[in-house]
Amino acid sequence: MAALGTGVRRLGLAAVFAAALAGCSGPPPDPARDTPDSRAGASAHPVRLLGDGSTSYTGPQPALPRPVRLAPGRRPPQFVVFTWSGVIEDDRRLFSHFRQVAKDNGARMTYFLSGRDLLRGLPPGAGGGPPRRPARRVAAAPARSTVRDTVRQLRGAWLGGNEIGTLLTGRPCRGRNGPDTAQWRVELARTRSLVRNWKTRAALPDEPALPFDFDRELTGARTRCPQGRASFLPLARGLGLRYDSSGAAGQVWPRKADGLWDLSVRRVPLPGGGLQVPATDRDFMVRQSGGPQGDPDRQAYWGDQFRDGLLQGFRRAYRGNRAPLIVGNHFEDWNGGAYTRAVEEAMGRLCPQREVRCVSLRQLADWLDAQDPELLAGLRKLRTGQAPPRGWSRYLAARPVRTPSGAPGGPAHP
């Protein structure tokens, strides 16, 4: 295990340097078609197969522009990040559908790949662990077809400039404090093994390899157990990860915690409820119906409420402090597909707007790393929804404006 940890750490650190090529603006080009003969990466680098040939290193990720440092006096772009968990392509075809929605709206997104996503529908024990209950509806599709279709979508997503993060194995978490650091290390090692050997486990030896080295690409993670986040951060920092997205936060500019950017989902208004709720389909679902199949007569309303909460959170930031809006979604049809509809409608309204950048978490981390630390410190002084007093041009002038004590975000008198 020690040798494994060293190898992951070395590759994780390599991701820091490779990520310098990533960026945050402009629409992505059309990704490669999702066919078995798709070539892995338009790169001059020789292809190096990894594991049982399930993954490969093909060079830096294509279709990623370079991040740009914000010029003095310019207001920051409004970043919107749509993230996904449970990234499988089953009979619902949500993965391929939202890849097309993103293309149509000039967006890139983050897909949190769980090791178990590459086992969905396979016979119990295929992952080398205890027997598992097949996922709902996925079991109806041929197991090999589900895995094959999923990896084809992952291939196209990466070639199109989207981020492949990790949800680790995606196993349920138990206990008040969640897993400790050693248990997280085992989770990550097993996830790496599942991703590197999906061909063997799914009996698909002739399927092309994924065009990326999972270890090199791993820039950040979202744990399934928020209560275990504190014990995960030391491991993530030691492996060279650059962000964590496991928690929930207000709509303020990100800061670093334990050396990692805190890119947690943001809390947005619950329309009509007077509450601030994490911007995830699951959190809205729990508050609305308590489970995935609530009253059919209210499902359309619940979807509208989720969409409108995202739009209200966006407007609050866009007109105020321009803090990134980070949204968490699942490829699920909870409440009759109310939340996937809501996300699609929100994406169509937000991403095409002026000065809006719909990016992945990796691209957001790249942009933050490229900025002047004093500029970021000034942005973090702005509260949720607070526009800079006297305008962006003065607030982000060449010489940072000092903020008097007791007046967060307020400019000093000349």
The per-residue pLDDT for 414 is 26
Domain ranges of the chain: 2-395
Q: What is the pLDDT of residue 25?
A: 39
The predicted pLDDT at position 126 comes to: 53
pLDDT, tens digit, 9 for 90 and up, residues 73-100: 999 999 999 999 999 999 999 999 999 9
pLDDT at 274: 86
Position 121 scores a pLDDT of 58
- Which pLDDT belongs to residue 125? 52
What is the pLDDT at residue 169? 67
Q: Between β-strands 256-257 and 260-262, what pairing exists: parallel, antiparallel or unpaired?
A: antiparallel
Element (H, E) at 101: helix 94-104
Q: Report whether CATH 3.20.20.370 matches the domain 2-395.
A: yes
* pLDDT beneath 70: ranges in the chain: 1-44, 121-143, 169-172, 398-414
CA distance 346 to 303: 11
Alpha carbon distances (Å) from 136 to 139, 152, 251, 333: 6, 21, 35, 11
The H or E element spanning position 268 is strand 265-270
Half-sphere exposure of 58 (CA within 13 A, CB side): 20
